[in-house]
Amino acid sequence: MNLLTLLHSAVSEVPQKACLMYKQDGKYTSITYSEFWDRIMHFAAGLVTFGAKPGDKIGILSTNCPEWAISDYASLAIGAVVVPIYPTLPAAQVEFILKNADVRYLIVQDGMQLEKVRSRWPESLLQVIVFRETTPSMDGKAVPFSDVCSIGKHQNLSGSRPDVYSIPEGQLATIVHTSGTTGNPKGVMLTHSNIVSNIHASLSYLPVEKTDVSLSFLPLSHIFERTVGQFAALSSGATIAYAESIETIQQNLKEVRPTIFITVPRLLEKVYAGILNKVEKAPGPLRGVLKKGIESGTSAGLTYRLVDKLVYRKVREGLGGRLRCIVSGGSGLAADIANFFIRAGIPVHEGYGMTEAAPVICANPKDGCIPGTVGKPLPGVRVRVAEDGELLVKGPNVMQGYYKNPEATAETIDSDGWLHTGDIAEIHNGYVRIVDRKKNILVLGTGKNVAPWPVENAISLSPFITQAVLIGDKRNYVTCLLVPDVGALQSLAGKMGLGPNPADWLENPEIRKLIAGEVRKATVGFADFEIPKRAVLLQKELTLETGELTPTLKVKNQAILEKYGHLIEDMYNGKQYLPIFDDSGPSASPLPQLSGQPSTVSADPDESGKQHPGAKRMSARKIPVWIYATSGLALGLLFRFWWGE
């Protein structure tokens, strides 16, 4: 079985059901499975007319849309190899991928994407096809998508259609370039059988029904969204609705009302941090009830019912109101966040994988989810932990190798066929927990090893901190770079009369004390040598556009060290830093009361491994009995006045 026959089975079962939904003229419209298949056949025949043949590399450079999926399946239908390219990549990186993969045909979204190749036209590239007809012909080298479809439709009418059942399952289907935090990306070669085996195994853990609707917003150029969000969903007869953009997700969720949502942890972290920020702003009695209910971890009792009515219901409605499952992948998800959504009535299933494994390696099954883990290996996939803690994988989903790079292939897949993931992991009762990337582990000058992700993730869960990057390799103690959440600080800054410039806020002693306190609270429970002692506050978020993040939103550590190296050196030399364990200093105005604020301790690094005496969490204040006796109606009115509708 190949990816086309898998889709054709669904087309045969539900030909008139909505297959794809997209926004047009302000409202969602749909394409049925039958119409989708016909458009695939039209475009496939058109590609052949333009000279495309089996084995040719066909690139796709676009945001998610129906044409992306049509182009993907049509290219596969003629036996070609699809090379997806992130639409956010700059021209130089697009050029590298086109040359590295020997791309002969390129399908682009619009004139802006075409401009990336106009002045960097690779010798191997024969033709560009443009979805949006807003570009000049470039002497015939760029043609509209609709023209190719029209030509192909005429060919279909004369009886010329690809024989999708003749495509061998072992044939190369795609070359997906890793987003890599260091060096040039490598082209991962995946066959039809690699991906099909991954689809079947994934669906055995988390079945997708024909009645399901998924909102697609992660880029299809990433194998996670393409395998799980496209191939698996469409082979099951489900409906995919495309989000307009990352900025419109909140609106699109309410319009589409999906039953399945595939995401990366960052979005869930944003929702969670936003809730905590709202709770911090709530009136005193209500704040106490909500915080106690959220932190308690229980899903029963009066407090839970109040929190469910006043908070969890808002979360469910904000996500469309009928989600039955969230699938999270791409990076680690904190157990606290997963449990929060589970208590809100929305199960979150975290998985784990890598491009080289097509991509899913582990997942939390439907009836056996354990937050804080990435689940169990998929059926047919074997895992083991090497002596140095690295997770090794073997199975039908493992790639053929890196395109034109046998040396890198030999470094990644050993002579026994084990794929070396580069991730440090632990396995308990069959469930896998990822500690961190092997290359990200900080080796301190004292000999201690620190896994950055758990600490960074804990810190970034603060409603006042949006990003955190740990520093400390070959240093005697750990520090960090912090990006404060400007939106969360805005209200506080206004009350303090600090003016509209966020840069001024970060110099304010009270704001700085607040952020230091948030780091202390977040790192309670970590060993002393893992806790950052100093920090640098950055005024702007780390982004893909500035070269600080990969397309999958992973931090490029080398880029960070190069860009902020002078600030890091100043921090370690005692200049221009925020002391995490020093509360002394003038106060411009009183800070709001923060529960769990640690007492003042020395800022001098302690390498003994013992926890700072000030790093003990203060017990939550006891909630007076009369609050519990307050009627749900009264609290509800108070909540509505504070939260708004």
pLDDT of residue 356: 97
Do residues 304 and 293 make contact, with C-beta atoms less than 8 angstroms apart?
yes
pLDDT of residue 546: 85
Tokens at 309, concatenated: 């009515």
Domain boundaries, the chain: 3-256, 441-611
The 10s digit of each residue's pLDDT in 455-469 is: 998 999 888 999 999
- Identify the helix (H) or strand (E) that includes residue 482: strand 479-484
- Identify the helix (H) or strand (E) that includes residue 521: helix 509-522
pLDDT of residue 134: 59
- In the chain, the amino acid numbered 475 is R
What's the whole-model pTM score? 0.83
* Distance of alpha carbon 549 from alpha carbon 374, whole angstroms: 23
* Distance of alpha carbon 123 from alpha carbon 165, whole angstroms: 33
259 phi, psi to nearest 5 deg: -100, -20
Q: Find the range with the poorest average confidence among 119-123, 208-212, 299-303, 320-324.
A: 299-303
Higher pLDDT, 1 or 141: 1
Confidence check: pLDDT of 169 > 50: yes
Tokens at 223, concatenated: 């194998």
Residue range 3-256 forms a domain whose CATH class is: alpha beta
Q: Burial, 562: exposed, middle or buried (Cβ in 10 Å; 0-12, 13-18, 19+)? A: exposed
- Identify the helix (H) or strand (E) that includes residue 61: strand 57-61
pLDDT class of 591 with cuts at 50, 70, 90:
very low
Which whole number is the average pLDDT over 66-92? 96
Which whole number is the average pLDDT over 378-384? 98
Tokens at 498, concatenated: 């600090």
pLDDT of residue 1: 92
Tokens at 427, concatenated: 């396995």
pLDDT of residue 270: 84
Q: Find the range with the poorest average confidence among 178-182, 288-292, 514-518.
A: 178-182
3-state secondary structure 23-67: EECCEEEEEEHHHHHHHHHHHHHHHHHCCCCCCCEEEEECCCCHH
Higher pLDDT, 409 or 486: 409
pLDDT of residue 234: 98
Higher pLDDT, 487 or 631: 487
Do residues 515 and 578 make contact, with C-beta atoms less than 8 angstroms apart?
yes
Tokens 């960097």 appear where?
Answer: 120
455 contact partners, CB below 8 Å, separation of at least 6: 468, 470, 478, 480, 523, 526, 530, 531, 532
pLDDT class of 287 with cuts at 50, 70, 90:
confident
pLDDT of residue 136: 54
Cα 297 vs. chain centroid, distance in angstroms? Answer: 25
What is the per-residue burial (b if ≥16 Cβ within 10 Å, else e) of 491-512? Answer: ebbeebebeeebeebbebebbb
Confidence check: pLDDT of 313 > 60: yes
pLDDT class of 138 with cuts at 50, 70, 90:
low
Helices (H), 297-359: 301-307, 313-318, 335-343
Q: What is the CA radius of gyration of the chain?
A: 26
pLDDT of residue 181: 57
Confidence check: pLDDT of 203 > 60: yes
Mean pLDDT of the chain: 87
Which whole number is the average pLDDT over 238-244? 97
Confidence check: pLDDT of 594 > 90: no
Higher pLDDT, 491 or 324: 324
User: Hey, CA dihedral for 354, 356, 37, 53, is it positive or negative?
Assistant: positive
* Distance of alpha carbon 583 from alpha carbon 75, whole angstroms: 61
Strand 325-328's sheet: what is its strand order? 27-32, 18-24, 239-242, 213-216, 260-263, 325-328, 348-353, 360-363, 376-377
Q: In 3-state terms, what secondary structure has residue 78?
A: coil
pLDDT of residue 197: 98
DSSP per-residue string spanning 565-608: HHHHHHHHTTSS-EETT---S--SSPPPP-TTPPPP---S--TT
Q: How many CB atoms sit inside 10 A of residue 624's CB?
A: 11
pLDDT class of 298 with cuts at 50, 70, 90:
confident
pLDDT of residue 139: 66
Confidence check: pLDDT of 640 > 60: no
Confidence check: pLDDT of 611 > 50: no
pLDDT of residue 282: 82
Which whole number is the average pLDDT over 307-326? 94
Higher pLDDT, 582 or 398: 398
Beta bridge partners of 424: 390, 436
Confidence check: pLDDT of 374 > 80: yes
Q: Find the range with the poorest average confidence among 107-111, 165-169, 352-356, 556-560.
A: 556-560
Do residues 522 and 536 make contact, with C-beta atoms less than 8 angstroms apart?
no
Tokens at 277, concatenated: 């920020």
Do residues 442 and 449 make contact, with C-beta atoms less than 8 angstroms apart?
yes
617 contact partners, CB below 8 Å, separation of at least 6: 521, 524, 525, 596, 598
pLDDT class of 281 with cuts at 50, 70, 90:
confident
Q: Find the range with the poorest average confidence among 508-517, 539-548, 606-615.
A: 606-615
pLDDT of residue 135: 54
* Distance of alpha carbon 376 from alpha carbon 368, whole angstroms: 9
pLDDT of residue 544: 79
What DSSP character marks residue 368? -
Residue range 441-611 forms a domain whose CATH class is: alpha beta
pLDDT of residue 210: 97
